[in-house]
Amino acid sequence: MTDIALWPAYRLAEAIRRRELSSRELLEHHLARVERFNPSLNAVVTLDPDGARRAADAADGALARGAPVGPLHGVPMTIKDTYETAGMRTTSGHPEWDHVPERDAEAVRRLRAAGAVIFGKTNTPTRAADWQTFNPIFGTTNNPWDVSRTPGGSSGGASAALATGMTALELGSDIAGSIRVPANWCGVCGHKPSWGLVPQRGHLPPPPGALAESDLGVMGPMARDVADLEFMLDILAGPTELSAVGWRLELPPARASSLGELRLATWLDDADYPVEADVGATLDAAVAALSDAGARLVDAKPPVTLAELVGLHQVLLYPLMDPTSTLSHRQWMSAHERRELLRAKMADYFRDVDALLMPITGVPAVKHDHHEPFIERLIPFGDENRSYFDLFGWVGLATVAYLPATAVPVGRTAGGLPVGVQVVGPFLEDRTTLTVARHIERLLGGFTPPPGYT
């Protein structure tokens, strides 16, 4: 029988509403799993059990009184430590930003308003700026499939906690694959929303107190189940308080509901950013299974190369991450115009294609490597080494062009490491990528817990 800590969050919420489980009971169960599994993983780095117990008891009391409740009422979860959490330590892995906020980040506020019981924070690299998760405050997070490897970054603690049932849901963020890479390497699900869907206020970086929305970065859900991604996105998405005076969000429905109606293209390998044979074989098998199940596969390559995407991604990203950047506003505007041309081309591309299936990384989870500067790190690739910056290769399209991308597991390598695929879709058509991911999940089995964590 599946441990309740591995149930989808929507099912937990239903069980709490039906009084089959209490919020307090479920919270204690998750806290016990943290106590049991976290020492070897270091995924959950801050806990507030007393505050969470008060919130869980209040949730149970509200149900007993027959009070109206939100969709996440009583469900316990953790939050990536890049989000400000009122009364709970927040660091983004950076000693200069270590503080206890008085106010929740807007995305966190929305989750609490929906009834979530937040009991802890998960680890992230310093200032969320790495594809591995370690920092000088909390140390290194390990991958539950192989503790000698990283879970990915920057939502590495989040993905490891999800994979091991230490949390029901997670709130990630993504500016260069930070939701998708950890989801891929830990075998869980993640959704990088279209840029601008979820307010950024209270996310670090930028530094605490910043109000301006950052380019490229998005806030998004992570879960073990695609239905939970949809469930959580409905809670998170919407205009900021200031914009809500005149703006409303109404995402279009998925372009089609059946697999045979959806036009799916694939881009599974590239000469500049090659995919390891084991990963490629897993992705090919997934596409073959889709074809056998009646998927409508179309031959359509995007109007851009990965090399072009990586160059543009780096030009737009570095001023956000590097305080010593000397990029002028004029130079940024030139890069922004190139981005807008790309967005127009991708809009045309998606007139004949509903979703594009792509690798997330060319390799499975890599061994821990904290060598600095990380530009000098290397990734073993067959009989050779590739640059660590190859990890930019497959994540850039969705980031640079503001597109939605849903990460979902599709299998494992011969060595037993998870492999996922990202479903990239048209701007603001997040429900289409989520629908395709749901079909993939149903067909290929979706999330499987790592050995020893059932």
Task: Tell me the catalytic residues.
Answer: 80, 154, 178
436 closest CA partner among 363, 350, 339: 350
Q: What six digits make up the tokens of 246?
A: 């005149």
Contact between 63 and 17 (Cβ < 8 Å): yes
Name 134's bridge partners.
140
- The 8-class DSSP code of residue 95 comes to G
d(CA 165, CA 449) in angstroms, rounded, equals 8
Contact between 287 and 371 (Cβ < 8 Å): no
362 closest CA partner among 400, 393, 404, 408: 393
Name 80's bridge partners.
122
Q: Nearest 5°: phi and psi at 98?
A: -70, 115
Contact between 355 and 345 (Cβ < 8 Å): no
70 closest CA partner among 54, 78, 58, 81: 58
Contact between 131 and 391 (Cβ < 8 Å): yes
Q: Nearest 5°: phi and psi at 268?
A: -110, -5
452 conformational bin, left if phi > 0, alpha if psi -120 to 50, beta if neither? left
- The single residue listed with the structure tokens 């869907």 is 197
420 SS3 class = strand
C-alpha distance from residue 77 to each of 5, 30, 141, 273 (Å): 11, 9, 18, 36
Pure H helices in 134-276: 156-163, 180-186, 226-236
DSSP secondary structure of 339-369: HHHHHHHHHHHTTT-SEEEEES-SSSPPBP-
d(CA 333, CA 339) in angstroms, rounded, equals 10
Pure H helices in 204-328: 226-236, 277-292, 306-321
d(CA 290, CA 442) in angstroms, rounded, equals 11
Largest alpha-carbon pair distance within the chain?
65
